[in-house]
Amino acid sequence: MIPPGRALRLTIFVDDTDTWHHRPLYSEIVHRAHAAGLAGASVFHGVEGFGAGSVVHTTRLLSMTDDLPVTIVIIDTEERIRGFLPRLDDLLTESLAVLDEVEVVRPRGGRAR
């Protein structure tokens, strides 16, 4: 559980077709966050978006694309998030990752550290 107060949010933007050793890249990131003992990670599938290539990908029927945006969000203390970043160096060669300071106002239950 993250204590109330300042924390960091790591947000990683990938495509749902990105893979790491024949498994979805987002799944590898979540499993590494779990193995590192971080407070939690969530994956969100987007319905439309574009990135550095400036091509809009969408779920609209006429597009029929399978290259949709995926966002992985991980929130924990600054020390734990910054300590986790080197574990992603080999994965994020073409992905965007950003850090934001956030304030945890109501921690969700979980295992105590």
Mean pLDDT by 10 residues, the chain (113 residues): 90 92 96 96 84 64 67 96 97 92 81 48
Long-range CB contacts for residues 63-70, cutoff 8 Å, separation at least 24: 66/16, 66/17, 67/15, 67/16, 67/17, 68/15, 68/16, 69/13, 69/14, 69/15, 69/16, 69/45, 70/13, 70/14, 70/15, 70/16, 70/18, 70/26, 70/43, 70/44, 70/45, 70/46
Q: What is the CATH number assigned to the segment(s) 5-102?
A: 3.30.70.120
Domain regions of the chain by residue span: 5-102
pLDDT of residue 77: 95
pLDDT of residue 67: 73
Q: What percent of the chain has pLDDT over 70?
A: 79
